[in-house]
Structure 1
Amino acid sequence: MSYSSCLAECDTDLLLDASVFINLSASGAASAILQALPHRALIVDVAASEVRVDSKTGRSDSDTLQELLASPATLDTVTLDANGLVLFENLVLELDDGESATIAAAD
């Protein structure tokens, strides 16, 4: 059986929002999955903060985040530039912080 991926056809970083990260963490194989990807994985600092706060629900997503961030080759954080902040401020009126920041960073 062979597998194909559209990821092989693009050359940009992968930007994860909090929901994607939580699902990745729930897989129990987040590190292995990220290391298998052909591109660098990033999470916006705002989305990472959402994951850290969400640890109060009893899940270990915050621990997984810290472990992955300890190895920037696996996962790294980005912050919004001035243009991203303007877009974020417009989007956050209708979306949550993490989604807004992720869209703004991708723009």
Structure 2
Amino acid sequence: MSGHRRCRSDSVAPRTGCSNLISNRTSLQPSTDCVGVHELTGNVWLAAAVPLVVFTAIHVPLWGVGATLQIGAWSVVVTAVYLWRRTLVAPIIMHLLNDIVGFVIPSAMG
């Protein structure tokens, strides 16, 4: 054990016994070591909301408020899929498809 406490099992992450959002780089599955907001609060939804809000907020200077609200709404969907499936594969595919539709196709069409 690397010094981190083990998470208690909950209904959100039955496959790992831990509901934090840290991924294992080799398997794209959640880590079993608790760190960050989830460890402090014991609440996976709050642990997901904090980085989601920060991620959304950093888009304001570049994209403006209107586009940032759309980015935030999409981020909620992607985060919910991650929490539901407990794997990064689906959110990565969603992100890829979103970028293709939002950036690649429009630039290819002129």
| TM-score normalised by L of structure 2 | 0.21
Structure having the larger proportion of residues in strand: 1
| TM-score normalised by L of structure 1 | 0.21
